[in-house]
Amino acid sequence: MIIFDCDGVLVDSEILSNGIDAELMRAAGYPITAAELIRGYIGRPKAEIWAAIAEERGVAWPDGLLEKADALLLERIETELQPVAGVAEALALIPGRKAVASSSALPKLRKALARCGLLETFDPAVFSASQVARGKPAPDVFLYAARECGVAADQCLVVEDSVAGVHAGRAAGMRVLGFTGGLHSYPGHAEALIAAGAAEVVADMRDLPERVSAQLQEV
């Protein structure tokens, strides 16, 4: 079975989400850019990211700020979110069972997939870190996805764009294929995924079916 991360692999939401978060954090007095958020934090549950940065800066966020970020993102998902270029064509060429395992909350995850015309490709095998005890980089959501689908962890291949996600997949005992074809990709992205444990990295969705096929032979 192939387990896909969602944000930055299937849908180009990271660029939207981190842009909103950085703008609100700056307005609250913390100087950070979307690029810095992407490089340092993507892949983890949003609430954990905000909590970690609050701890680093030593000041709690204003009440309701995270909820405002979530609401703004949901609005922009409905009007602006696009699938990663070429993803529908790539998925059509990849045979076998597929699932999604994401750090996003389940309502946002399903909304994003539906907006991009991808929900029916995976439903009902759509899983969120909100359904398990720990988010990425812990392996919980990947293990949960495999268990719910009745597939052994060592028979799963993960497709991930984040260091946290790669760590999670490897901790679950799964082989991981890195992906850097999203709009949020940054200099050194591929090298970071390899260093985290990805078997290889794909930079273009058009190359994904061939590389998935090759990696599945190693599973």
Q: What is the pLDDT of residues 145-197, one digit of tens each?
A: 999 999 999 999 999 999 999 999 999 999 999 999 999 999 999 999 999 99
Q: What is the pLDDT of residues 51-66, one digit of tens each?
A: 999 999 999 999 999 9
CATH number at residue 158: 3.40.50.1000
Among candidate residues 58, 79, 100, the one where a domain is terminated: 79
Contact assessment for residue 128 and residue 107, using Cβ atoms and an 8 Å cutoff: no
Roughly what angle, to the nearest 10 degrees, separates helices 46-57 and 65-79?
A: 140
> What SS3 state is found at 201?
strand
pLDDT at position 219 is 79
Q: Into how many domains does the chain fold?
A: 2
Per-residue pLDDT, averaged over 37-58, amounts to: 94
Query: Are 28 and 95 part of one and the same domain?
Result: no
Could you give the residue ranges of the DSSP H alpha helices within 13-155?
Answer: 14-27, 34-41, 46-57, 65-79, 87-93, 106-115, 119-122, 140-149
Contact assessment for residue 35 and residue 184, using Cβ atoms and an 8 Å cutoff: no
Query: Are 52 and 106 part of one and the same domain?
Result: no
Order of all β-strands in the sheet with 200-202 = 126-128, 98-102, 2-4, 157-160, 175-179, 200-202
Whether pLDDT at 218 is above 90? no
Query: Are 40 and 88 part of one and the same domain?
Result: no
pLDDT at position 136 is 97
> What SS3 state is found at 38?
helix
Percent of residues, the chain, with pLDDT higher than 70? 100
Structural domain range at position 95: 2-12+82-216
88 — pLDDT class (breaks 50, 70, 90): very high
Q: What is the pLDDT of residues 104-150, one digit of tens each?
A: 999 999 999 999 999 999 999 999 999 999 999 999 999 999 999 99
Query: Are 114 and 203 part of one and the same domain?
Result: yes
Query: Are 108 and 183 part of one and the same domain?
Result: yes
pLDDT at position 121 is 97
Among candidate residues 26, 52, 79, the one where a domain is terminated: 79
